[in-house]
Amino acid sequence: MYHQHKSYDELVKNDFQQYYYFLDWSDNVNFLVNNICSINIEKVYQNPAGSYTGNGGNCFSYDSAGNMILSSNCNGSSTSPPVNSEISADELEVIKNSIVIHPNPTKATDNYNVTISWSGAALGKIQSVQVFNSSGSLVYSYIPGANTTSFNLQNQLPGSFIANFVLNTGQIVSKNILKW
């Protein structure tokens, strides 16, 4: 007697196709989202050091996902984030591509020095630069006076860092920095 050997895929193909529409995870996903993954995004308030009078600048508050939730003039009067002045997703991508981090990854042969510079679409739009380690601790910050900045990651553990570029609209563009 001759036995034809079929692969597992061939054996279950018809049953799988026939019952495919029953494979709906929506009930399970709703259960997970509603019962197991309670989402609670904390608010993070960032105010620069020093005192401000008159047009001293703007202070911003963000949730932990990086979304601006409040801006104020550093004297206490608050406003909601600007709605109409937001930059579109396409423009944000152009700004992100205008930011260069070099060398990336940084390593011992570079003395762990990192230079960030921007040009083109990013000029005049970056209000601050903040670099965080994988634990979420701020390791470097810069208020642009020029379109380039350099810093050193010598005293940081190897790994991934996030460079957040806070734009004048309150939006944030992020890029990764690797240290080997």
pTM greater than 0.75: no
Q: CATH 2.60.40.3080: which residues of the chain?
A: 84-179
C-alpha gyration radius of the chain: 24
Residues β-bridged to residue 102? 115
Q: Which CATH class is domain 84-179?
A: mainly beta
How many Å apart are CA 141 and CA 131, to the nearest integer? 6
Place of tokens 């609670």: 40
Q: How far apart are CA 159 and CA 136, in angstroms?
A: 12
Taking the CA atoms of residue 32, residue 64, residue 79 and residue 59 in that order, the dihedral angle to the nearest 10 degrees is 180
In tens digits, the chain (180 residues) has pLDDT values of 555 667 767 766 676 666 655 555 555 555 555 555 555 555 555 555 555 444 556 676 666 666 666 666 666 555 554 444 688 888 999 999 999 999 999 999 989 999 999 999 999 999 999 999 988 899 999 999 899 999 999 999 999 999 999 999 989 999 999 998
Q: How far apart are CA 141 and CA 138, in angstroms?
A: 7
The per-residue pLDDT for 33 is 54
Nearest to 65 by CA among 168, 177, 162, 169: 162
pLDDT of residue 180: 85
